A and B are shown apart, each in its own frame.
Chain A
Amino acid sequence: MIHSFAEWLQSLPLAVLVSESWFPQVESAHVFALTLFLGLLITVDLRLVGWGSQHMRFTQLSDQLLPWTWLAFGCAAITGGLLFMANATTYVDNVPFQAKMALLVLAGLNMGFFQFVTFRGVAAWDDRAATGAARWAGITSLVLWTGIVTFGRWIGFV
């Protein structure tokens, strides 16, 4: 199932174009977008954990940074999707790639839980370092994204 989907994806004209002519450029754009995304996300996560930006309310920092963070994430996701299409049949069997995708899902769940559950109590820690669930959301995010970059880089080494 997944293999026939990968074969179909890889046979699309766009995928062929990327794999034959644009892979290094798309990969460079992916690195630029993901490093910008990650740096901004780390800044917000560290504020949660209690490191840096403590003179600002959490919501003040996140309101100002998250639009740019999501913009960069969107670019990283689009370029990442193009890279995947170009070599889909190889990537689906690539263990670091599979690990990266699994961690991405976990990072998404962590973010969703924080946004829709933990964030309701923001008033209690908006003006100080977060404690409890909010602090753990920050730590979990930092660990997961470090793992995502690590496995992402490892994709090319196996």
Chain B
Amino acid sequence: MTIATFSDWLSNTAPSQFIQVTNWIIPTMQTIHILCIALLLSAAVLVDLRIFGAGLRSETLTQVADRFVPKIWACLPVLLVTGLILIVAEPGRTLGNPAFYVKMISLLLVIGVTLWLHRYARSARPLSALPALLAIVSVLLWATIIVSGRLIAYIESI
């Protein structure tokens, strides 16, 4: 089964049809998705800033990471559920879209980077090139996720 036939099948199922005819569901899910991204992104950026000694300087890096990394993990399930509802609503728009796969690959990478950075933050090691680089990579990956997420609306599905 190709992605296109799966998308066609999914868009004809009852849940997909229900979302498609209920106008408020898609913008509401997108709004919740964006609010959740706001909480997640600010948490990630606060950890990354603290790695460079900026932002919440009155706390140690360990304290900032222990406080904010769990917020990143807490946001992900909400993003997953709202994201899945949006896919079910318009499978053709998303599943055949290169931007969607860029977003998902970046997400997997940033989860790994965040796990590593949290471990580094707890180790109380001094700042070196690798954590500095990964902190920058983390911000760039979150930016890629947000940008490619928005570009799903503009890039043609294959």
Contacts and interface: CB of A to CB of B under 8 A. Distances in A.
Interface of A: 24-25, 27-29, 31-32, 34-40, 42-43, 56, 60-61, 64-65, 68, 146, 149-150, 153-154, 157
User: Interface residues of A: mostly helix, strand, loop or mixed?
Assistant: helix
Given A39-B43, A60-B58, A65-B55, A149 B35 contact: yes
Q: How large is the interface on B (under 10, 10 to 19, 20 to 34, 35 or more residues)?
A: 20 to 34
B115 interface: no
A28 B150 contact: yes
A28 B150 CA distance: 6
8 contacts: A31-B34, A31-B147, A35-B41, A36-B45, A64-B56, A149-B35, A149-B38, A150-B31
Given A24-B151, A35-B146, A64-B57, A149 B34 contact: yes
Contact of A42 (B27, B38, B150, B154): B38
Nearest to A61: B56
Contacts of A43: 42, 46
A32 B49 CA distance: 16
Given A149-B31, A150-B31, A154-B27, A39 B154 contact: no
Nearest to A60: B58
Q: Which of B38, B43, B55, B153 has the most CB of A within 10 A?
A: B38
Interface of B: 23, 26-27, 30-31, 34-35, 37-43, 45-46, 49, 55-59, 143, 146-147, 149-151, 153-154
B147 A146 contact: no
A11 B21 CA distance: 37
B49 A35 contact: no
A96 B145 CA distance: 26
Contacts of B153: 24
A157 B27 contact: yes
Q: Which of B43, B59, B149 has the most CB of A within 10 A?
A: B59
A68 B151 contact: no
Contact of B42 (A28, A39, A56, A146): A39
The 6 closest A-B pairs by CB, nearest first: A39-B42, A38-B38, A39-B38, A28-B147, A35-B38, A24-B154
Most buried by B among A25, A36, A150: A36
B72 to A, nearest CB: 11
Given A31-B34, A35-B38, 18 more contacts: A28-B146, A31-B146, A32-B143, A32-B146, A38-B35, A38-B38, A39-B45, A60-B58, A61-B56, A64-B57, A65-B46, A68-B45, A146-B35, A149-B31, A149-B34, A150-B27, A157-B26, A157-B27
